Amino acid sequence: MKTDTLLKFTFWRVIAVVIIVAGIVSTYYRFTKGLGATTNLSDAVPWGFWIGFDFLGVGLAAAGFTIAATVHIFNIHRFEPIVRPAILTAFIGYSLVIGLLVVDLGRPENFWHPLVMWNIHSVMFEITWCIICYTTVLILEFAPVVLEKFNLKAPVKLLKKISIPIVIAGVLFSTLHQSSFGSLYLIVPGRLHQLWYSSLLPVHFYISCIAAGLSMIIFESYLNTRAFNTGLRLKILSKLSVVVVIVLVVEFLLKITDLLLSGKFNYLVTSSMETSLFYLEIIVGTIMPVIILGSKKNRENKSWLFIASVCVICGFILNRMNVSITGMVSSSGVNYFPSFDEISITFMLVVFAMIAFRLVVQYFPVFTYSEEKVIEENGIAETKKLITGE
């Protein structure tokens, strides 16, 4: 047994090292040889895998603001135990995205220009600012965890005092830029395939990121229980999955109505690569998880919860990749597939993110709540205690 786990550990370590080394080499080439030599981007495909990946990083980190709002604004303290993991996920996700954006920019040394050169009509400008502000919010939201560890009480007190405005600001910034990622494509009606182009793109992006972000929490909790055995209570996750189902159904209905009302029914019945991908996205990302999570028994089963969350995440990934890459193919007339360097730099950043997550979880109290403590924190349990006068 022991050697088995040891082997497994070293196996993953070796893979991680290989990915990182490849990534560093690619990064070096990217900065010394330029984008043309290292990516498959071109005048016909100015945005590729990296932009698509940015959508994923930001979208999957959406639980950061949804959970914070649920607990601190709507005062549903049942979900308190997952606030910290959600915020940590979001922070790491955003750091990854910022890192990737800098690699993607043609002039990375000018990355600070949006701070001083303003064009308030640009969606990209708005997104840049929201990402900067929201990352700051995330730092402030996570800071108490770090400060507590080092026993610094005064700043924690201060942060607690302003915590509600911080959470509200975080929710607003998130709402804006999550939806604005969709707004980016509003100006390209002739380029993005009609199955994805919609004047409601920002709304679709917003709603779908909530389902994906929450599923990400379920996904992580599952993996984390296995790795550290300090995981979360199944009950919370199964409640969370109910929310996921509701959000998925709402998004599904909205999407279908939108398609039918804008007279795009014919795209649903023609056979093309886009139509197949569209169906794949809906089946994997919406229909399968709704069927799985529709049954209460499955919701209370760890493995089914996990499988459903994987479905939602895959569907979300498909959707964002379809908007950013496949939905653009037919109008650009060029078949784009990311180059080795594009992929290896991205993977390197993902490995960094995973290592960072593990390290933080290991050294800071992120998954803190054991079973009993959760009950204590749980409003109902507290009430019971009071009633019985214990």
17 lies in the binding site for another protein (CB under 8 A): no
Give the position of tokens 């890459």.
Answer: 325
**From the CB of 139, what's the least distance to another protein, in Å?**
20
Residue/partner pairs of 70-78 with CB below 8 Å, 24 or more apart: 72/163, 72/164, 72/167, 73/164, 73/167, 73/168, 73/171, 77/377, 77/378, 77/379, 78/236, 78/239, 78/378, 78/379
User: Is residue 128 a contact residue for another protein (CB under 8 A)?
Assistant: yes
Q: Is 276 in the site for another protein (CB under 8 A)?
A: no
Minimum CB separation of residue 29 from another protein in Å reads: 11
User: Binding residues for another protein, how many (CB under 8 A)?
Assistant: 61
Rounded to whole angstroms, the Cα distance separating 86 from 66 reads 9
End-to-end CA distance of the chain: give it in Å, rounded: 45
Q: Is 106 in the site for another protein (CB under 8 A)?
A: yes
Closest CB 38 distance from another protein, rounded Å: 10
Interaction of residue 125 with another protein, rule CB under 8 A: yes
Q: Identify which of residues 69 and 375 has a Cβ nearer to another protein in the complex.
A: 69
Residue 273: both structure tokens together:
């690569």
CA 189 to chain centroid, in Å, comes to: 26
Residue 163, interface with another protein (CB under 8 A)? no
Min separation Cβ 48 and another protein, Å: 10
Which of 13, 34, 227, 363 binds another protein (CB under 8 A)? It is: 34
Determine, following the binding rule CB under 8 A, whether residue 337 of this chain makes contact with another protein: no
Binder of another protein out of 171, 207, 312, 348 (CB under 8 A): 171
In contact, 318 and 285? CB cutoff 8 Å: yes
Residue 46 or 294 having the CB closest to another protein: 46
Q: Where are the alpha helices (DSSP H) in 197-262?
A: 201-228, 234-261
176 binds another protein (CB under 8 A): yes
E strand segments, the chain: none
**Pick from 72, 204, 299, 320: which binds another protein (CB under 8 A)?**
72
User: Taking the complex as a whole, how short is the minimal distance between the CB of residue 219 and another protein, in angstroms?
Assistant: 27
Burial 51-75 (b: 16+ CB within 10 A, else e): bbbbbbbbbbbbbbbbbbbbbbeee
Smaller CB separation from another protein, 34 or 294: 34
Q: Counting contacts by CB under 8 A, is residue 172 touching another protein?
A: yes
**Taking CB under 8 A as the rule, does residue 69 contact another protein?**
yes
**39 within 8 A of 337, measured Cβ to Cβ:** no
How far CA 40 is from CA of 19, 49, 323, 333, 349, in Å, comes to 20, 9, 18, 14, 19
Contact 40, 342 (CB under 8 A): yes
The piece of 11-19, 119-127, 258-266, 315-323 that touches another protein (CB under 8 A) is 119-127
Residues interacting with another protein, by CB under 8 A?
A: 31-37, 41-44, 46-47, 69, 72-76, 104-108, 110-111, 113-114, 117-119, 121-126, 128, 164, 168, 171-172, 175-176, 179-180, 183-184, 186-191, 199, 202, 379, 383, 386-387, 389
